[in-house]
C-alpha cells in the first residue's frame, strides 16, 4: 500500500523516509507525491486579463486606472489622445462595441 493510499484510508498523516542508493527513484517518487499537494493555476493571456480587469469597471474607473498607470511611468501630464490610445481604454471600448 502506498503512502497516499494509507493517507486516504485512515486520514492520518504518514511520515515516510525514502533512503537508498542513487538512481532508485527516490526523487522521482517525491516529485510525484508533491504534485498531489501543489495547486496548478490556470494561465491567462494578457488580453484576457485586460478584458476581465475592465469588464466590471465604469468608464470613470477605467480613466482613473489609465491616469494611475501613466503616473507610475513618471508621466504627470496626459493628453486625451494618449488616454484614448491606452490599452485599458481600447479594451473597454471593444467590450462596449464603441470602436
Please write the tens of the pLDDT for every residue from 42-63.
888 999 999 999 999 999 999 9
Same domain, 89 and 59: yes
Within 8 A by CB and 6+ apart from 70, the residues are: 76, 78, 82, 86
pTM of this prediction?
0.57
pLDDT band, residue 9 (cuts 50/70/90): low
Same domain, 56 and 87: yes
Say whether both 27 and 64 belong to one domain: no
50 in the same domain as 27 = no
- Tell me: do 50 and 90 sit in the same domain: yes
Instruction: Supply the range of the domain harboring residue 10.
Output: 3-37
91 and 51 in a common domain:
yes
Question: What does the CA dihedral 89, 95, 97, 99 come to, rounded to 10 degrees?
Answer: 30
Same domain, 27 and 55: no
**Domain count within the chain:** 2
Amino acid at each position: 500500500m502506498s503512502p497516499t493510499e494509507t493517507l486516504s484510508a485512515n486520514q492520518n498523516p504518514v511520515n515516510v523516509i525514502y533512503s537508498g542508493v542513487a538512481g532508485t527513484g527516490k526523487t522521482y517518487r517525491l516529485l510525484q507525491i508533491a504534485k498531489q499537494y501543489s495547486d496548478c493555476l490556470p494561465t491567462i493571456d494578457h488580453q484576457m486579463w485586460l478584458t476581465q480587469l475592465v469588464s466590471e469597471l465604469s468608464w470613470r474607473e477605467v480613466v482613473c486606472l489609465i491616469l494611475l498607470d501613466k503616473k507610475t511611468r513618471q508621466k504627470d501630464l496626459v493628453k486625451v489622445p494618449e488616454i484614448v490610445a491606452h490599452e485599458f481604454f481600447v479594451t473597454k471600448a471593444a467590450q462596449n462595441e464603441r470602436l
